[in-house]
Amino acid sequence: MLYYLNKGRGRHCPICNKSFRKFGDCGNPKRKDALCYHCGSLERHRLVWLYLKRMTALFDEPSKSMLHVAPEPCFENLFKKHLGQGYISTDIQNPRAIVKMDVTDINFPDETFDVIYCSHVLEHISEDKQALREFHRVLKSDGWAILLVPIKLNLKRTFEDPSVTDPMERLRLFGQEDHVRRYGRDFCDRVREANFFVNVIKPADFLSEKEIELMGITKTAGEIYYCTKNPPT
């Protein structure tokens, strides 16, 4: 119903190719102009999709092998369609995932994947540094990973306290009941500790101001952390 009530041309979702007067409110606290009424994409999903389509060879022939951690519904079928047998989704709980797996102990050999995509997962994992090391291990030497986490920009260093287990206290300290830390501006340093090279991509690096507004890519979309095993050429 909301899809039809909000049809228009003020906003456009590049993932499902549908247009609306505006996007829906979403989150806690509510973020205005965030949710696509058709495919359920959020700001960060639209940002990543545009980057993948415009700035990478993910969908070029020959097909790439991809590990997709905690698969988002707005991406799943699209990735399956484009990548075929090369697409592997994984989650510790989600029954839709192709493989049930803990990313701190990935059940694949070294240098298996061309691409790893992991969005808003590491803040849920106690041993996030181990997960990053595992991503590095299973990524091919010429592969790349896109890692996204919510970052508190006014926080210089990541804040975590393993003794905090109460959901309400986690909500207060980390922003969500099942988060185990708040990442600060040192997130890239944590990724580099796993021997990745990190390139930080901002929306304005490859999108015009008009595109950013039309596709609802607000500041809450964050930045893309494009990670490789070798220095960028």
Pairing between strand 7-13 and 139-148?
Answer: unpaired
**How many alpha carbons fall within 13 Å on the CB side of residue 121?**
23
CATH class, range 60-228: alpha beta
Q: Report which of 188, 135, 178, 185 is spatially closest to residue 159, judged by C-alpha positions.
A: 185
Stretch 219-225: mean pLDDT: 90
Pick from 141, 202, 205, 153: nearest CA to 182 = 153
For 199-216, the pLDDT digits (tens) are: 999 999 999 999 999 999
pLDDT reported for residue 3: 52
**Could you tell me the pTM of the whole model?**
0.94
- Per-residue tokens: 165: 């287990």
Q: What does the pLDDT look like over 29-54, one tens digit per residue?
A: 889 999 999 999 999 999 999 999 99
Q: Where are the domains of the chain?
A: 60-228
pLDDT, position 29? 81
Is residue 8 predicted with pLDDT exceeding 90?
Answer: no
Q: Which of 188, 207, 208 is nearest to 199 (CA)?
A: 188
β-bridge mates for residue 121, sequence order:
none
The pLDDT assigned to 40 comes to: 96
* Pairing mode of beta strands 139-148, 224-228: antiparallel
- How far apart (Å, rounded) are the C-alpha atoms in residues 121 and 108? 19
pLDDT of residue 63: 84
- pLDDT, one tens digit per residue, over 109-127 is 999 999 999 999 999 999 9
DSSP secondary-structure letter at 222? -
**pLDDT of 5:** 56
